Chain A
Amino acid sequence: MSPEPIDAATIAADVQSGRRTARAVAEASLARIATTEPAIHAFLGVTADRALAAADAIDDRRANGEPLGPLAGVPIAWKDNLVCAGEIATAGSRLLEPFRAPYSATVLERLEAAGAVLIGRTNLDEFGMGSTTENSAFGPTRNPVDPTLVPGGSSGGSAAAVAALDCPLAIGTDTGGSVRQPAAFCGVTGIKPTYGRVSRYGLIAYASSLDCVGAIARNAADLRLWLRAVEGPDPADATSLRRGEAKPETADVPRDDLTGLRVGLPWQLNGPGIDEEVSAAVRTAATELERLGATVEECSLAAVAHAVPTYYLVATAEASSNLARYDGVRYGQRRDGRRLEAMMAATRSHGFGHEVQLRVLLGTFALRAGYHEELYGRATRIRDLLRREFETAFASYDVLLSPTSPVPPFPLGSRLDDPLAMYLCDALTVPANLAGIPALSLPCGSTATGRPIGLQCMAAHGNDDALLRVGELFQRQTDHHRRTADLAGDVDGAVDGNPPEAPTA
């Protein structure tokens, strides 16, 4: 029997009013995790003691008449590439074991200050490198909608935790679609904010010019609550946007309907190569937006045709540099080697999984003397071209629409042998990362076999609020987000409870 889905806003309001205690909410979340984990494996660690202590502190504050934060008592899971003081952090890799964080990521500090109850660390592709969560060194996560399917990635554990009703909100990170694609695959809602809107201090870096902290929930209204609590400048992250760089509540989008909203459908992101059922669901969603008052028309973004190679050359080049720090000296595992360089090579080769080694080698190649200008250099110039194309498009449109993923979720193990084919599936999400713009994935239907489909909405730099308002109005008038949550709710009865096996490839 699955619990009734309760959103974060309702929990916070109930805890603030005394209708529920934070402890009861935390205990219910921990009990649900215990029920779903054997089948789903969304978590790498459950922080029950921390959660119950935080919940009790909130209940004490209320009993003493002290004010409570906007996320009072809301159980929140976090992707295990964000560090939390006193807790283990793995980034989905064996290499970091047994790292225990001496400080907390700013986003987690701000969540706790807002009254959130941190419930556990979620599974991910190693260092965020993957689109299925099968690249985790700790075994794959399964999709709560159908446990034979991948949950997407790299924030697959966070998306699965929300879809399985373990918690109403989970933090993810999005370097090339790693929040939006798993949200789409699991039938939940996910946002990648504008680059710099949320501090990355305490994020285990993959590709620093692309990495964003985002979140996954069952609706856009909860994502707004999350963004309000964590956004804003951070002296510890020089790339965080200063006040005034992110647009506040905009008047561009009306509050009650979408009259006047200009929606563009870039044909390059809605054309060949997209699964027919996915295309049909997105066209239907566009029609629903029109019914709500928006004008929808086709437009063009020519440079997105080159987005996948551009993204992978930039991201892996940055990763080859960022991951140089895992050398067996300062933290994590060390393999024996009589000389320093032999020890480093032995440590890294043993600690990194196959996909991480592949990407580090690709990034090293992209920066190699003789190829640097032709590969990495050209990729950065295409990236500038793409950003300018987006700026031009946003002069005519408030929102650009596409599917989040060209395909619906696929069976575990079915695509592990062909990384290039897997990379090409990121074609629709990586443009927003390259341009640094906000993007939202909303459930917009499902295939005939019940596999969820996600609608991606992108807005201009800093227009996160307008984007979330479009999502909220869409979800107020449609029930896709509720139907997929219903599908996932019975996960405890969906499989026999055997823990999932790690893939052999």
Chain B
Amino acid sequence: MSDIAIDRTELQRLAELARLHLPADREAALLGQLQDIVSAFAAIRAIELPDPAEPAAGAGAAPTPLRPDEPEPALGPDQVLANAPQRAADSFVVPRVVDA
């Protein structure tokens, strides 16, 4: 069983995936805490589990019910956009996504 460890490079990759920018003063604290937690939690890899073919499931024993696929009243554009940091007409405005 290989070690599971988080180093600074891995932390930066995680931050990139999680869309977080970690300033240097915060990075050290987060790295130390993550290392402690992951090192403690990695113990679950050693637990013997019955029948690996059995599927995992969520908390509810009952399956999620289906409902008819019919249109229902929903929030209008003004309500949806009311909390937007920036809007134009019926759209959210975001910074540039692709180069011109």
Contact = CB atoms under 8 A, between A and B. Distances in A.
A209 B30 contact: no
A99 B18 contact: no
Contact of B40 (A309, A324, A352, A358): A309
A120 to B, nearest CB: 21
B88 interface: no
B9 interface: no
Contact of B45 (A196, A342, A374): A374
Instruction: Kindly name the residue among B4, B18, B79, B96 whose own CB sees the greatest number of chain A CB atoms within 10 A.
Output: B18
Interface of B: 4, 6, 10-11, 14-15, 17-23, 26, 29-30, 33-34, 36-38, 40-45, 47, 49-50, 52, 54, 56-62, 64-65, 67, 75, 79-80, 82-86, 92, 94-97
A90 to B, nearest CB: 12
A374 B3 CA distance: 11
Contacts of B56: 377, 380-381, 383-384
A333 to B, nearest CB: 7
Given A329-B84, A365-B14, A309 B65 contact: no
B38 to A, nearest CB: 7
Contacts of A475: none
Given A332-B85, A334-B85, A378 B49 contact: yes
A343 B64 contact: no
B49 A381 contact: yes
A379 interface: yes
Which secondary structure dominates chain B's binding surface?
Answer: loop
A329 B21 contact: no
Going nearest first, the 7 A-B pairs with the smallest beta carbon separation are A436-B59, A380-B56, A334-B85, A331-B83, A309-B41, A102-B79, A345-B21
Given A309-B41, A361-B11, A378-B47, A434 B59 contact: yes
Given A337-B95, A378-B45, A383-B56, A330 B18 contact: no
Instruction: Kindly name the residue among A195, A345, A383 whose own CB sees the greatest number of chain B CB atoms within 10 A.
Output: A345
Contacts of B54: 381, 384
Contacts of A339: 95-97
Contact of B30 (A98, A309, A361, A375): A361
Contacts of A354: 26, 29-30
Contacts of A312: 37, 41
A473 interface: no
A310 interface: yes
Contacts of A195: 59-60
Contact of B95 (A342, A352, A374): A342
Nearest to A303: B47
Contacts of A340: 94-97
Interface stretch (A236-244, A257-265, A443-451, A480-488): A236-244
Nearest to B4: A371
Contact of A360 (B18, B37, B45, B80): B18
A280 B40 CA distance: 29
Given A324-B19, A327-B19, A365-B34, A209 B95 contact: no
B47 A382 contact: yes
24 contacts: A195-B59, A196-B62, A242-B65, A306-B47, A312-B37, A327-B19, A329-B92, A330-B84, A330-B92, A331-B83, A340-B96, A340-B97, A345-B20, A354-B26, A354-B30, A357-B20, A357-B22, A360-B18, A360-B20, A365-B14, A365-B38, A381-B52, A385-B49, A433-B59
A338 B14 contact: no
Contacts of B79: 102-103
A199 B76 CA distance: 23
